[in-house]
Chains A and B, each alone.
Chain A
Amino acid sequence: MEAFTGKVWVLGDDIDTDIIIPTEYLALKTIDDMKQYGFSPLRPELAGQIEKGDIIVAGKNFGCGSSREQAPEIIKALGISCVIAKSFARIFFRNSINNGLLLIEQPDLHDDIKEGDTITVKMNEHVDYNGKTYPIAALPENLMDIIQAGGLVKAMRKRNGLD
């Protein structure tokens, strides 16, 4: 099974979509134009510090708030490989799956983790940190199908006989 390692940025509970990308930037033309403003109300410097392959570890209800799909798209565009949180808000969860941003629910890691530390994710099995193993669940089959197709756009292209 696939495994990957990354440096961790730690965020709190209820990180809402207005924090991930404020409404005032939503009319910018592209995700690349918007991504520099990611998390700006909370941590204006963060978007510039995130490097490809980094991981966000957050508390409960990550992604609560609006339906803006730019939220997961920006996180992905910043190079984040996955978000591990105690729980995710419903619309954000669907939007992430549809855009191929990996989300993992894990109840305990956030309480133990320190920002800047490194963790290893073994897909559908567990997260390893500081000599400890944190179990994670496998995704339901219908969601894995969308992810395996490479997101909902690709799944629909296949349905429409394009790919």
Chain B
Amino acid sequence: MGNTVIEKIIRHNTGKDVKPGDIVTVNVDRVMIHDIFIPFVGDKFEEMGFTKLWDPDKVVLIYDHLVPASRVDDTRHFHKGDEFAKKYGMKNVHRSDGICHQLMTEAGYVKPGDVVFGTDSHTTTYGCVGAFSSGIGYTEMASILGTGTMWIKVPETIKVVIEGELPKNVMSKDIILRLIGDLGADGATYRALEFSGSTVENMTVASRMTIANMAIEAGAKCALFTPDEKTAEYCGIELNDYQKSLKGDEDAKYLCTITYRAEDFVPVMACPSQVDKIRDTSVLEGTPIDQVFIGSCTNGRLEDLQAAAEVLKGKKVADYVKLIVTPASRKIYLQASKMGILDTLAEAGAMITHPGCGLCCGRAGGILSDGERVVATNNRNFLGRMGTSKVEIYLASPKTAAACAVAGKIVTPEV
């Protein structure tokens, strides 16, 4: 019998023929720790009695949630991180380069077929290049730092097939929101999602990244895309035979297969305060808004900023609406700057901030208050996520978000 992509990755990693439900120990290719958790990882690592990292080059430390610091205690995390990195000989430290999930693939830390863990739930993002990547807590991270291994249960796989051409006003964000709505917030818990079909093949790596990023919002352990020529170019490599083999076999066993026609997708939103409360944007039209946020590890990439700039070109953000734009990394910031995208956004009235997680995780840079409503391109609309528990968060694509910023209310983007 054939294998799914996740089964092939685990088989390659462990040298064992595996099936869903098996508990196996994997060798970890790379780990990511971010600023919020590094003090805890460091403490647990030493409490466990480890005296050296299993492989300092495989450990990446990224400051993003607290950059730049917004409270007096925040810099303690940077000092603790710097001390840890120095003490254990770590070179891969990013102090203000961007959001962890953007940097891990952008800076070349993750390659197709790798097994990667991070101290953040959106670590599923690296499935965009065909890596098995998943989020864990700081205690497990500390044990990986010492051992280089971790136990996992081989997940069942849900296959998602999308064929055809997407309507012009639809982005990959609309696809993953629709899928989360169809599966439910726990519909893929403990499971792998595997994406295929002509729509997915024609998609940029950046668009795949948005989908893989939000797989966790359906509970998924990981989300996998088959590495192809675009992946190879993005990663700056030539695919080897193993990486080329990472597609689901015809006779692989899937828990179920969900099939979509690309032409059927429409712009959608996740309504307050559940990620799986998905509605067509058309039925929400006219709802007044106070703020729009375009950014995050979900939708802060060049193509996202470009899509927003196309909508905003020559227009103005509506009175009383604040538009906050946060590129996902410094590299993207510079590219967008060189291409004039930031000029277009600023001329339309956007506030452009440094790359980071601040607003998405409710710590800085545009926090909202009781009764306010925001259209946002990030990944979570949980109660209290971007301010008080009486803020209403609508999740949408960058195109939809930009159109809403101009209209001052929820609207469906035209193109």
Q: A interface vs B, CB < 8 Å?
A: 14, 16, 18-19, 22-24, 26-29, 40-42, 60-61, 64-69, 87, 89-91, 94-95, 98-99, 140, 142, 151-153, 156-157, 160-162
Contacts and interface: CB of A to CB of B under 8 A. Distances in A.
Contacts of B189: 61, 87, 89-90
Nearest to A16: B382
Closest 3 CB pairs of A and B: A41-B384, A69-B137, A160-B49
B384 A22 contact: yes
A151 B77 CA distance: 25
A152 B190 CA distance: 21
Contacts of B385: 18, 22-23
Given A19-B383, A67-B123, A157-B47, 18 more contacts: A14-B186, A24-B363, A29-B76, A41-B384, A65-B121, A66-B135, A67-B118, A67-B136, A68-B36, A69-B37, A69-B139, A89-B219, A90-B189, A91-B121, A91-B136, A94-B137, A142-B23, A160-B48
Contact of B389 (A14, A41, A64): A41
30 contacts: A16-B380, A16-B383, A18-B362, A18-B385, A19-B384, A22-B384, A24-B363, A27-B36, A27-B73, A41-B384, A61-B219, A66-B121, A67-B37, A67-B119, A67-B123, A69-B40, A69-B137, A69-B138, A69-B139, A87-B189, A89-B189, A89-B219, A91-B121, A94-B140, A95-B136, A142-B151, A151-B139, A156-B48, A157-B47, A157-B48
B44 interface: yes
Contact of A152 (B121, B140, B221): B140
Contacts of A18: 362, 380, 382-385
B50 interface: yes
A98 B139 contact: yes
A99 to B, nearest CB: 7
B10 to A, nearest CB: 16
Contacts of B76: 27, 29
A27 B380 CA distance: 20
Interface string B107-144: 00000000000111101000000000011111110110
A19 B137 contact: no
B137 A91 contact: yes
Nearest to B155: A90
Interface in B53-107: 65-66, 71, 73-74, 76-77
Contacts of A98: 137, 139-140
A91 B135 contact: yes
Contacts of B71: 27
Nearest to A69: B137
B120 A67 contact: yes
A32 B221 CA distance: 30
A49 B267 CA distance: 44
Interface of B: 23, 36-37, 40, 44, 47-50, 65-66, 71, 73-74, 76-77, 118-121, 123, 134-140, 142-143, 146-147, 151, 185-186, 189-190, 219, 221, 274, 361-363, 380, 382-385, 389
Contact of A14 (B44, B50, B146, B185): B185
Contacts of B37: 67-69
Nearest to B276: A14
Most buried by B among A64, A68, A87, A151: A64
A26 B362 CA distance: 11
Nearest to B384: A41
B219 A64 contact: yes
A28 B71 CA distance: 10
Contacts of A152: 139-140, 143
A23 B380 CA distance: 12
Given A19-B382, A23-B362, A24-B362, A66 B50 contact: no
A69 B49 CA distance: 20
Given A14-B274, A91-B136, A156 B49 contact: yes
Contacts of B49: 156-157, 160-162
A110 B36 CA distance: 34
Contacts of A151: 139
Contact of B47 (A27, A61, A65, A153): A153
Contacts of B380: 16, 18, 65
Given A27-B71, A64-B186, A140 B23 contact: yes
A95 B120 CA distance: 12
B120 A41 contact: no
A140 B143 CA distance: 20
A65 B139 CA distance: 18
A160 B50 contact: yes
B186 A89 contact: yes
Contacts of A69: 37, 40, 137-139
A65 to B, nearest CB: 6
A65 B66 CA distance: 19
Q: Interface centre among A66, A89, A95, by most B CB within 10 Å? A: A66
